[in-house]
Amino acid sequence: MIQTYPIPFKSPESQGVSSKTILALIDNLEENIHEMHSIMLLRHGSVIADGWWSPYAPTTTHMLFSLTKSFTSTAVGLAVSEGRLSVEDTVLSFFPEEAPMNPGNKLEAMRVHHLLSMSTGHAVDTTPALVTSTDGNWVKAFFEQPVEFEPGTHFLYNSGASYILSAIVQKLTRLKLQDYLRPRLFAPLGINEYDWECSPQDINIGGWGLSITTEAIARFGQLYLQKGVWGGLQLVPSNWVETATLGHVSNGSNPESDWEQGYGYHFWRCRHRAYRGDGAFGQFCVVMPKQDAVLAITGGMDDMQPVLNLVWEYLLPGFEPTSLPEDHQTQSHLSTRLTNLKLPMPEGSRSSGITEEISGNIYTFEANDQKFRSVCFDFSEEGCFAQFQDERGDHIVQCGYVKWLQGNTTLIERQLNLVGCVTWQSEDTLVMTLRFYETPFCYTLTCCFTDLSITIHVAANVWFGPKEFQLIGTRIYN
């Protein structure tokens, strides 16, 4: 039976960090980073601070986006240690059936370590070609993309390379990454709640798609800090940990950027001799070997550099080599602060004189790029239920009056859990706030009504494309 080990909780001062230092970091994160979702700080193997900005919670998983890549790298390292492959193996050797008739010298020279270090030789990220491939064969689509540079000579962040690594491990083990890692990594670390998206060929998407809890991120970082050891067991070979977190390729020269300090095997090098895995919109696993510390963060912000800037400015100077005198007053203040973290609740009224007039009406939309066709609102004492229709079908969202109402919806993609809040900003303006709390995404729908029409302004906190659009509709049914 696999035994898991809880992470102990200890006071910051006992681990050589002032509670005032952590308070200063939290204050500045809240003031400057408006979509923090969670934070967990470990020092000397103990949790010294953790908090979740409500409605985000400790027990819920959070999309990692490219932080997934560091788990994919770990799977490759484990497969290497089991003798299943070498980082010097050519990529084409694993997929003779998908190889092009005339692959070219550069593609033939591409090796596993080039996939790991994002130095495949591509000039353009292969991901769009993979996800839009008509036959769903992402491996074949990867090999069809031109390789412009000699592998190993050019850095390009390329999630398609991560997918090929996942496909290699699955081909060798006949297990998807999540199943391969379950007994080797997830179970020993106590990571029981997770989900990992798959490609049309039922291969875990190695470059993104993994969702785990904040504590699971921290445990993963602590494992790497401990050179692959957990609970007295060597889960990941120490030489792989060391190799994966070294800089294998240059990715820029700006000394102020944490994205230009070198790239390892699906790990970023940081300033201050740290390294990290990270994912779009603020998912971080920062490992600080010199300070013997790990920082896990989830969020929903466009610009991720300011988060690390604040960590280096406020947290880094606060690490002391020995324990500090206990500061019970500040510890109590910090504990209260962390326990009561929350994102602002939308303000407004819970009623309007036009509620009965618009309830049950169907509004059809003018042609729009998002392919929405209609919307219908239904109001009750509890809140508002809105049914949107697009080319995929009907999508229902539930919002509580000036409070979060929990539900799920397929509104933006596959079915996702959400909490919704609705308020009246004026007699004819309804605002719906939708937080997909297992993702970075939050949508605000500002609905303006006239006698026979509706205009909905949709704004997302973050997204990969346009974050705002407008829907104009006409009432057809009363």
Q: Would you list the domain boundaries of the chain?
A: 13-60+213-339, 355-477
Nearest to 7 by CA among 213, 302, 155: 213
**Residue 4: its pLDDT value, please?**
66
> How far is 386 from 366, CA to CA, in rounded Å?
18
Q: Tell me which residues of the chain have a pLDDT lower than 50.
A: 1
Residue 5's pLDDT is 67
Burial of 132 (0-12, 13-18, 19+ CB in 10 A): exposed
All residues at 6 or more sequence positions from 385 whose CB lies less than 8 Å from its CB, including other chains: 377, 378, 379, 396, 397, 398, 399
**Which pLDDT value is given to residue 1?**
45
pLDDT tens for 404-432 read 999 999 998 889 999 999 999 999 999 99
3-state helix, strand, coil in the chain (%, to 5): 30, 30, 40
> What's the fold here for domain 13-60+213-339?
Beta-lactamase (3.40.710)
Q: Is 447 left (phi over 0), alpha (psi -120 to 50) or beta?
A: beta
CATH architecture assigned to 355-477: Beta Barrel (2.40)
CA 444 to chain centroid: 20
Q: CA 420, 424, 428 angle in degrees (round to 5)?
A: 130
